[in-house]
Amino acid sequence: MSNCLLNGAIGRLCALAVGLALISGCSPNATGDLSSASAASAAEAVRSIGSSFSAEELQKILQQRNASTLSESLNKVKKLGATRDGLQLLEQVWTGNQSQYPELSWEAISDPGVRLDLADILLQAAKNGDITQEPVDVHDFVRNILDTGSPKMVSQAAITLSTFDEDADVPALERIALQRDSRTFRSIIIALSRMCASAADEALNRIEQEATASDKEFIRDTKTRMTDFKRQPGACQP
């Protein structure tokens, strides 16, 4: 397995890195304070890893009771990747298997921002072939955040949603872009630009026609960057 979860397609790696740069962190709510022992073990796990996270290390991280801190740790997992057993653990966590892992901080894990981080990791793993299938119900979960979340959450959900490359998701993304909300606009453009879907290209052209001069420049630059990335082998499925 590759050292980094996102190495399966260079276009996907670069596009995701650009998107995450705009939407760092995630969870807007904290769900409690860590005990000093849990904080120390979780922090040590994050500090000590220079390569992919194992299941044992992820178990320590997932014991963090503060949702914001947990989200920050999962963003490190996005960058460094997870081993096969680590991904299998995250698949179990996504399904809510509390009986098998009672030591995990399930209240923090149920936070929408943390769930979105988990969805992002598992979707990219499925895209790269590191796990056999997408998590159950993940598409509906991400779409719901796109429709109901805060601007920060919407921005991350848009980047995550673009991983599906589904034409049916484009109208929702286009609708948000046309609202001209500065808090979400650029993330939506990045999401549409990184999709391997003809409907996304058509939506970008429509958005560009109605955009301001500065937004037009951003749209064109982003389309050019993502077009180059998507030409790389493995970036878009045939």
* CA of residue 59 relative to chain centroid, distance: 20
Lowest mean pLDDT among 10-19, 45-54, 186-195, 229-238: 10-19
pLDDT tier, 128 (very low <50, low <70, confident <90, very high otherwise): confident
Query: So what's the pLDDT on residue 37?
Result: 46
Q: What mean pLDDT comes out for the span 32-60?
A: 64
pLDDT surpasses 60 at 28: no
CA–CA distance, 92 with 102 (Å, rounded to integer): 12
Q: What SS3 state is found at 112?
A: helix
Tokens 């769930």 correspond to what residue?
115
Which stretches within the chain are classed as H helix? Answer: 10-22, 36-48, 55-61, 67-80, 84-94, 106-109, 112-128, 138-148, 151-161, 170-177, 185-194, 198-210, 213-230
Query: So what's the pLDDT on residue 238?
Result: 57
Q: pLDDT (tens digit, 9 = 90+) per residue, 207-219?
A: 999 999 999 999 9
CA–CA distance, 127 with 134 (Å, rounded to integer): 8
pLDDT surpasses 90 at 229: no
Question: Could you give the domains of the chain?
Answer: 10-230 (1.25.10)
Largest pairwise CA distance in the chain: 56
Which helix (H) or strand (E) segment holds residue 27: the answer is none
pLDDT surpasses 90 at 159: yes
Q: pLDDT (tens digit, 9 = 90+) per residue, 87-126?
A: 999 999 999 999 999 999 999 999 999 999 999 999 989 8
Q: pLDDT (tens digit, 9 = 90+) per residue, 179-213?
A: 999 999 999 999 999 999 999 999 999 999 999 99
Q: Are 219 and 44 in contact (CB under 8 A)?
A: no
Compute how many other C-beta atoms are within 10 angstroms of the C-beta atom of residue 18: 19
